Amino acid sequence: MKRRDFLNSTALAAVAVSTSGFIRFNGQNFEGDCETTTDILGPFYRPGSPVRNTLLVKGEAGVPIELYGIIRHSDCSSPYKNAKVEIWHCDNNGVYDNTTDEFRYRGTTHTNEKGSYSFNTILPVPYDAGGGLIRPAHFHLMITAEGYQPFVTQLYFTGDKNIMNDPAAASPTAERRILKVKNLSNGSKEVNYDVSMTLSLGVEAVALKKLIGSYINTKEPKGKKEFFIKDNQLWLKNDVFGEMYEYVGHNKFEYPGMPPGSYSSLQFEILATGVVQLTMAEAYGTYVSPTAIFLKET
């Protein structure tokens, strides 16, 4: 039997396609009237961080810094009130708090009437990500605003020598997320980052539920992938919490914010038996992972 398209079998249904106000890189230059671009979520996201603006930890080393900005609607001008802004980053030793109830250097806030948000924390440091890759210092942000696709990005800082060797940070789409850090007279620092939200492809909740569950690798039975739903998005479970994938159409999801030439894609298919098959393909920089086939457990 030929491949079944989920749109034809009502398994997936796109509900929004507008990208008004979202900057795009066409391979040569930026298009659009906003400067907001996405980046990879990374493996260390944890939901449920405390609602707080101050992340400073008493007795911990680090350079104090304030991150502040404005969240706007997709028209790039109207402030978005009560948008949820989550931040997470490593400590002064390059380590993330992935397990404790303290949620160190993790926090959640909501924008005010003017769309403003801010966090007081420390400046992150570069760290060894393994495989010879030193990740440049960066903040992670996730912004959730009703009516828009959850927005995930990373913020880098000018002068970081590790940026040029990092596929995500060195991507042309990251150019406007390499931010200038301002030195204040009291010895602390501040950095500004504004965001314009965007509409994009979404999936009906009923359809998305058909994809969640455990999948077994057809060549390695012990190799499993588990998918779940959060904020009407498809997530792949990991040791910390999970990694979010965005629907791009034709039964396919992609890991958002990957640099040019890199990708992580999930292609779903309903077989004649009714079993859901997943084809997973990944590449990062010069590394290309062999394509893996998974079948959903029934």
pLDDT in tens, 13-65: 433 322 323 334 444 433 344 657 777 777 899 999 999 999 999 999 999 99
Q: Which amino acid appears at position 115 of this protein?
A: G
**pTM of the model as a whole:** 0.74
CB atoms within 10 A of CB 5: 13
> What residue ranges do the domains of the chain occupy?
24-196, 205-296
CA distance 15 to 71: 23
Low-confidence stretches of the chain (pLDDT beneath 50): 1-11, 13-33
Angle in degrees, CA 95, 83, 115, rounded to 5: 105
Contact 253, 246 (CB under 8 A): yes
CA distance 41 to 152: 6
Query: What pLDDT is stored for residue 62 in this prediction?
Result: 94
Query: What pLDDT is stored for residue 201 in this prediction?
Result: 56
CA distance 45 to 244: 10
| 24-196 CATH choice from 2.60.130.10, 3.40.50.2300, 3.40.50.1370, 3.40.50.261 | 2.60.130.10
Closest CA to 247 of 258, 239, 237, 235: 235
CA distance 140 to 49: 13
Contact 154, 123 (CB under 8 A): no
DSSP state of 24: E
CA distance 139 to 124: 7
CA distance 144 to 85: 7
DSSP state of 3: P
Measured on CA atoms in the order 275, 276, 279, 282, is the torsion positive or negative? negative
- Name the CATH topology of 205-296: Lipocalin (2.40.128)
Contact 36, 195 (CB under 8 A): yes
Contact 232, 244 (CB under 8 A): no
Query: What pLDDT is stored for residue 250 in this prediction?
Result: 74
Query: What pLDDT is stored for residue 164 in this prediction?
Result: 94
